[in-house]
Amino acid sequence: MAKILVVYYSKSGNTEKMAFAIGEGAKQVKGVEVAVKKAEQTSLDDLLSADGIIMGAPTYYGQMSAKLKALIDESVQIHGKLEGKVGAAFTSSGGTASGAETTLLSIIQAMLIHGMIVQGRASDKHYGAAAVGSPNEKELESCKTLGKRVASLVIKLKT
């Protein structure tokens, strides 16, 4: 079984809705086990045991939340041990042109420094899933697609 871990921080519940939609999308792929966990409840062992890690947080001043950043900062203890795992990012923000892309890129940057393989997208939402405020149906579909794409890539790499 391939293991997908969706890690998130959410204050208002918007990012949490996205996290569970991503998990739902990943579960559509045969041979995948999915866990959705809050950042503050995620351990380094959780990161190590996952084949794919999808991280998300609200956009705060163009960056991820401190709670998700704290987990990433702690992950220095396992530096090099996430190499080859699949990663992806998601965020919710307060409006358009409010830093969502820089938030996604800050999460992706940490994944690349860990040596992870990042799942991008050619059509739109290139850097990950994003929503403005409470995610609408289209944005939740984008989340499900992200989960499914990451899970499919994990399966491809495991075989």
pTM over 0.85: yes
Domain that holds residue 45: 2-158
Total domains in the chain come to 1
**What is the rounded CA–CA span in Å between residue 2 and residue 21?**
18
**What is the rounded CA–CA span in Å between residue 70 and residue 65?**
9
Stretch 42-55: mean pLDDT: 98
pLDDT at position 68, please?
A: 98
Secondary structure (H, E, C), 8-70? ECCCCCHHHHHHHHHHHHHHCCCCEEEEEEEHHHCCHHHHHHCCEEEEEEECECCECCHHHHH
pLDDT range class, residue 96, cuts 50, 70, 90: confident
CATH of the domain at 31: 3.40.50.360
Q: Render pLDDT for 110-138 as a digit per residue (tens, 0 to 9).
A: 999 999 999 999 988 899 999 999 999 99
| Mean residue pLDDT across the chain | 96
Stretch 96-121: mean pLDDT: 95
Residue 95 has pLDDT above 90, yes or no: no
pLDDT at position 159, please?
A: 82
Q: Render pLDDT for 5-45 as a digit per residue (tens, 0 to 9).
A: 999 999 999 999 999 999 999 999 999 999 999 999 999 99
pLDDT at position 17, please?
A: 98
pLDDT at position 38, please?
A: 98
